[in-house]
Structure 1
């Protein structure tokens, strides 16, 4: 729960070195009047509907983090192929991890869980979702339609039909706006695509479940800023004000994101890198990732 000090981030009497990113009142999608209240609510809510951080050790005996990573890498391809909105992928991974937090499963049914959670997420987030038959085809018809529907019922029942969940994507757009408002040297679309690339890499790694979604989003902005402008400090008063994170809160998560980015070309999980190597995403996956981050940037 946010305390009173951190919750009050909407004071219109902003300090001179903090950019006002909530002044676009003519754009209804930005919800400028209520934006701060919305994000305070998201911060308070992100502790709910989170998966266990140790379910692989305590619940799962027949699958491991590598199998989970392979599944999510494949789901990235599927989600991109069907042009699902980004929220769908994040929500599907949330459903997968929450279900696995309480239900032992074997490797043969892991893909079944994956396609069902993607189907549920697309029903929740997208204007259109493929049919059950199409999802069976995606899995090379190794599952019957009846099995898909049975798993769908099992997931919905276990999640108690609580399908709304706060994910990293919930914070990323606002944090990108804060980064843009604070640093006009950065090409805005490149920064946004790079932050999205880093945030999606976090989905692959089971160990990243220990970090709150907002912390991953803030760390993705920090690392994207550093990769884009390595000679300049990646954090500033505007980002601190809107993310509610001090740079000293970020080092562990930034370090793990940096590892994922630096190691990804040789990871054997190519889907996210290939996706963000396309011109649509400004080829940000091909940008050079420095081997280290100066410690003074994280103080």
Structure 2
């Protein structure tokens, strides 16, 4: 494992108890078909509150306006996102962790002019991913273990912690932000009403496929110009091959910005067809072969 000579101050031992801040008995609930079968008043009240909280989440236009004409920044951002997603996959983090880490990265970029050095971006990526993991994971790796993927740079835990403080302060410690995952179960529940009851066994796979596509969209900077609800709705409709018409969108929720969902759907379709083609094999094992969902997961291109 090599350490960049540029960063010769970046290595030290980390105490094992540093991240032991959650009860070990807490566990992430697995997705079950029952999770999608019923929507009650509490669900409706919750989703309305999430719609209210997402209004300040649209930052893609600002990000593109600031950095869209600087190829080096866009390339560095994409490399940083790819690295975070590799680490996310390696540690099998929750999908929300990946999305939050990119959210923190982009929000930080908006308020800072980063130098062009690669190690600056890697340190920022490690800090954003660490913060996101602390928000979402029950078992958070030590900061050194978090950096084992492509360890061209290896930062002291203390250095990463200092960067975490800088990132958190820059975000005014607004780390619990609205994401497409806040809407995902609700929209899948709504879509389930359009399908025959015998096909409900495939809904967990819909969740899995939609989650993977949402994570992949984080590479596409244009998608940060859309509210989380529009991204979630577009992805769910895309995965289940539902028409993107006003009636269908009204059924999902009256608060949806229909124009945003339609535009986001087109962007997802344009960028995600390759990912969806890969996901088909997984979905084939979950969906009955004689119903609507089987037709839904056919390659559109």
TM-score, with length taken from structure 1: 0.71
2:54 equivalent to 1:39? no
Moved more, 187-196 or 120-129: 187-196
Q: Name the SS of the counterpart of 2:111 in structure 1.
A: coil
Indicate the residue corresponding to 1:121 in structure 2.
Answer: 132
Equivalent in 217, 225, 245 of residue 210 of structure 1: 225
Q: Name the SS of the counterpart of 2:174 in structure 1.
A: coil
Q: Name the SS of the counterpart of 2:148 in structure 1.
A: helix
**Contact 1:180-1:188 within 8 A present in 2 as well:** yes
Equivalent in 90, 93, 109 of residue 81 of structure 1: 90
Q: How many angstroms apart in 2 are the aligned matches of 1:281 and 1:136? A: 35
**Contact 1:111-1:139 within 8 A present in 2 as well:** no
CA gap 1:243/1:114 in 2 versus in 1, 3 angstroms: farther
CA gap 1:159/1:138 in 2 versus in 1, 3 angstroms: same
Equivalent in 142, 156, 165 of residue 177 of structure 2: 165
Indicate the residue corresponding to 2:214 in structure 1.
Answer: 199
Q: Name the SS of the counterpart of 1:76 in structure 2.
A: helix
Indicate the residue corresponding to 1:240 in structure 2.
Answer: 250
Moved more, 60-69 or 38-47: 60-69
CA gap 1:148/1:77 in 2 versus in 1, 3 angstroms: same
Q: How many angstroms apart in 2 are the aligned matches of 1:76 and 1:142? A: 17
**Contact 1:179-1:239 within 8 A present in 2 as well:** no
Q: How many angstroms apart in 2 are the aligned matches of 1:273 and 1:91? A: 25
Q: Name the SS of the counterpart of 2:76 in structure 1.
A: helix
CA gap 1:210/1:246 in 2 versus in 1, 3 angstroms: closer
Residue 163 (structure 1) shift = 0.9
TM-score, with length taken from structure 2: 0.71
**Contact 2:226-2:260 within 8 A present in 1 as well:** no
2:100 equivalent to 1:100? no
Residue 247 (structure 1) shift = 5.6
Indicate the residue corresponding to 1:68 in structure 2.
Answer: 77
Unaligned runs of 5+ in 1: 1-25, 227-231, 266-271, 292-299
CA gap 1:35/1:281 in 2 versus in 1, 3 angstroms: farther
Q: For 1:125-140, list aligned pairs within 5 A.
A: 125-138=136-149, 140=151
How many residues are treated as equivalent by the alignment? 250
Moved more, 172-181 or 107-116: 107-116
Residue 255 (structure 1) shift = 0.9
User: Over residues 49-80 of structure 1, what are the superposed CA-to-partner deviations in whole Å (9 max), with x where a residue is unaligned?
Assistant: 55352335425857433432332233222112
Q: How many angstroms apart in 1 are the aligned matches of 2:46 and 2:101? A: 23
Q: How many angstroms apart in 2 are the aligned matches of 1:31 and 1:53? A: 34
Q: How many angstroms apart in 1 are the aligned matches of 2:277 and 2:131? A: 25
* Higher RCO (CA 8 Å, separation ≥ 6 residues): 2
Task: Write out the 4+ residue segments of structure 1 that deviate beyond 4 Å after TM superposition.
Answer: 59-62, 234-239, 246-249, 276-284
2:238 equivalent to 1:223? yes
